[in-house]
Chains A and B, each alone.
Chain A
Amino acid sequence: MLGYIDKIKEISERVLKEGTVEMVIGFQKGTLPMMNEPCFVKCSGDVQRLVWDSNCGINLANYLTDRKEKIAVIAKGCDSRNIVTHIIENKIKRDQLFIIGVPCNGMIDKSKIASMFEKEIIEVVEDQNNIIVKGEGFEETLKKGDVLQENCAICIHRNPVIYDELVSDMVEEQRDVDRYEDVRRIEEMEPDKKYGFFDDLLSACIRCYACRDACPLCYCPTCFVDESRPQWVGKGQDPVDIRTFHFLRAYHCAGRCTDCGACERACPMEIKVRTFTKKLEKDCLEAYGWEAGMSLDERPPLDTFRPDDPEDFIK
C-alpha cells in the first residue's frame, strides 16, 4: 500500500495538467503520528503534498457533497461505495468525478495503538505488514493485521467498486469473516440489559457530533438535532437526548452505511458508535440481501418496494 503514492501522484498530476479535473482530493501528511489531513490540490506542481499510508481512514466521499467542480478523488473500497451512494442520492454527478481507486489493506486504529503503550507515541512508521511504534525509550513492531480499525478487520470490500483508474492490482478480499459477532451478542441480551449496554456505551458522549460530521451520509442541511422549529431533541446532557441522537442518526443511515468507520475514528471519546449502524447493516443484508453502495444500477431498499419484502412485523 505504501507503493501507491507514486502512482497516485502520477495520476493526479496528469489529470490536473490535462484539465480533466479542477482539483484532486486526497490526504496530506498530518502533524501527529497516525494522522493525515484531508486536503485538495489544484495545481499539478502541488501533488507532492499528497501522501498515502495506513492513516487515511477519513472517508473522502464526505468532501464531495454538493460540489460543483470536476474533481479527482482518491477512493478506498469504502470511499468508493460512499461515492456510489452519493451519486445515487444526487449529491454529486458521476461525470464530475475522476475516481482514483485504491485497493486497500485496511487502516490502523490509532486509539487502539495508543492504548497499548503507557507512554506517549512520538513516531509511527510502517512497512508492508508491520507498524513500528516509537516513543521515549521504547520501540516496538506490531503486526498491522493486529491493529487494524475494527471495521477494516472485518471488511469484505477492500477494492473500489467504481473507479476510473486503479493505482495497483486489486487486493485479495477477506473471506470467511464473521461481520456480526458483536451484533449477535447484543441481540441475545434481555431488553433491560440491552438498554443498560447502550447507556454505558454512550456515557462518555459530549455531543460534539464528530461522528455525524465525519459521515458522508450525514449531509442534511439541518440535522434533526439542530432543528429548532420544532425542536425534536433536548440539547443538554440528558442520556435520553444523547441516545435519541445516536439511534436516530444511525437509522437515517439505514441501508446506506458502508461501515467505513469514519464515525468511530472521529469520536474524541472513543465511543464505538458503529454498534448502532452495524445492527441496521446486518438487518438490511438479512432482510433485503442488500449491501450499500455496491452498484450504481440498484436502488436502495428503503426507496423501493418488492413484493417479497419481509412484512411479518405488520399486523
Chain B
Amino acid sequence: MKVIKIEKEKWDKGVEKLNGPLRLFGPVKDGQFHNFKELDKNQQPDLNFLNTRLSPKSTVFPQSEVMFEYSLDESREDHHIMKEIDQDYSPRAVIGIRPCDAKSFLLVKRNFDTDEYKDPYWIRAFEATTFIGLACNNPCSTCFCTSADCGPFHEEGLDLLLVDAGDYYLLKVITSKGENLLKVADWETEADADTSGETSGNIIDTLKKEAEAKITSSVVTDRLKEQISLELYQAPFWEDAAFSCINCGTCTYVCPTCWCFDIQDETHGISGVRIRNWDSCMSPLFTLHGSGHNPRGTKLHRVRQRFMHKLKYYVDKYDDGIQCVGCGRCIRLCPVNIDIRKICEIMNNYEPAACACPA
C-alpha cells in the first residue's frame, strides 16, 4: 500500500496542475450548501463540507444529457439523420467525493454496465473519471454507511483516498488509475520515507476507527433477504409509511444510487435533440401507460416501489446488500421526514402473522 504525504499548501498546487490535463469536478459552495461542479481554471475544490446537497452522480450521469441530434435543414449534408452528438470524454477527476458516494457508482454500474446491455454514455464518462475520495473524519448524524456495507474511509469505487490528518493530507493510492495522477500533480513524497514517526497506515487506521465510532445511526438489513416479497408487498404498514409522502422527486434526485431516466425528444424549429433526464419513481408519470392505465396509480404504490426496489428487489437480484450506501441525503431533505432507516427496520422486522392487528 502506497501512501503519499501532502503538505496542505502543496495540495492546492497539485490540484492546479491537474486542472488542464484533466477536467476537474469538485465541491463548490453555492449559497448555503455545497455541490459538485466542474472547476474553472484556477478554482479550488472547497473541502470544508460535511457532504454535498446533491450527490456527485451528475458528474457521470447528468440530470439532463443530450444523446442525439438531427436537422431537417437540407443544405446540411447530414440532414434527416439522427446523429449521436460529440461529448467530451477526455480524462476527468472528481475531487473530494465522499466514500459513500464513490461506492454508489459501483452500485449504479450494475444497471448501466451489464453483460447484456452497456450504456455507452455512462460507461464512457465513468471510465474517463478518476475518483479522489475525501475520508469523513466527521460524519453526520444521519450517516449510516457502516451498516450499508460502506464506511467513512471505505475504498471501493475510489482510485485515491485523501485523509485529512490535521496539518497535512495523506493520500492513499488504491488503483493504478489513481497512481497515474500523482506525477501530474507532483504529489510524490511517500509518507513512510521517514521511518522515525508513526506509519501512515496507523494514522489512517486510527482516524478511521475514530470516524466509525462517531457513526451512531444504522439500518438493520439481516432479514431482508429471507422476507417474502409478496408478503412485504401486501403488508399493511405501507398505508402508514406512505401517508405523509407528497410524491415529490427529492429523495430520488438527491440519491446517489437512483439511476432511472426518461428519454425525451425536443424540437426547435427544424432541428431537434433526443435527451435523457433523470426520472423519479415517485412521479405518477413514471409508470403511466400510453393507454392511460397506471399500474402504480397511488402514492402508496410508488412509495412502496421505491423502498422495495432499494431494500428487497435489489437485495434479491444481486445478493450483495441493499441499494443504498447510507449517505442520508433522502432523510435530511425529505420535506415530510420519511426516513429510510425507519422503513428499512419495519421491512426487516416484518412478521406477517403477527400483523393481524387492526390495520
CA distance A32 to B142 in the complex (A): 8
Residue A189 CB within 8 A of the other chain: no
A-B contact count (CB 8 A): 107
Tell me if A111 is interfacial: C-beta within 8 Å of chain B.
yes
Interface residues of A in 21-35 (CB under 8 A from B): 30-32, 35
Q: Scoring A residues 181 to 200 as 1 if CB is less than 8 Å from chain B, else 0, what string do you get?
A: 00000000000000000000
Q: Which of chain B's residues have a CB closer than 8 A to the CB of A31?
A: 331, 337, 339, 341-342
Residue of A nearest to B252 (CB): A208
Interface string of B281-325 (1 = CB under 8 A from A): 001110000000000000000000000000000000000000000
Closest to B279 in A: A235
Chain A 74-103 residues near chain B, CB threshold 8 A: none
Contacts of A204 in B (CB 8 A): 30-31
> Are the C-beta atoms of B337 and A266 separated by less than 8 Å?
no
Taking a contact as CB atoms under 8 Å apart, the answer to whether A115 and B337 are in contact is no
A209-B249, A236-B277 given; A36·B337 CB < 8 A? yes
Contact mask A258-274 → B, CB, 8 Å, 1/0? 00000001111110000
| Residue from B30, B50, B243 in contact with A39 in the complex, judged by beta carbons closer than 8 Å | B243
* Min CB–CB distance B29 → chain A (angstroms): 11
Task: Kindly state whether residue A287 has any CB partner on chain B within 8 Å.
Answer: no
Q: Give residues in B with beta carbon < 8 Å to A.
A: 30-33, 50, 53-54, 63-64, 140-142, 240, 243-244, 246-250, 253-254, 262, 264, 266, 275, 277, 280, 283-285, 331-333, 335-339, 341-342, 358
CA distance A266 to B253 in the complex (A): 14
Shortest Cβ distance from residue B284 to the other chain A in the assembled complex, whole angstroms: 7
Q: Please name 19 pairs of A and B residues whose Cβ atoms are closer than 8 Å in the assembled complex, sorted by A.
A: A31-B339, A35-B337, A42-B358, A58-B244, A62-B246, A206-B249, A208-B250, A209-B248, A210-B246, A210-B248, A213-B335, A214-B335, A235-B264, A236-B264, A237-B64, A238-B64, A266-B246, A267-B335, A268-B53
The residues of B that contact A237 with a CB separation of less than 8 Å are: 63-64, 277
Q: How far is the CA of A69 from the CA of B18 in the complex (A)?
A: 63
Interface string of A30-59 (1 = CB under 8 A from B): 111001111110110000000000000010
Task: Find residues 100-143 in chain A having any chain B CB closer than 8 Å to their own CB.
Answer: 111, 114-115, 120, 122
For A213, the chain B residues whose CB sits under 8 A away are 246-248, 335
Is A234 in contact with chain B by the CB < 8 A criterion? Answer: yes
Verify A266–B64 contact, CB threshold 8 A.
no
Chain A residues, CB < 8 A from B243: 38-40, 63
Measured CA separation A238–B248 after assembly (Å): 20
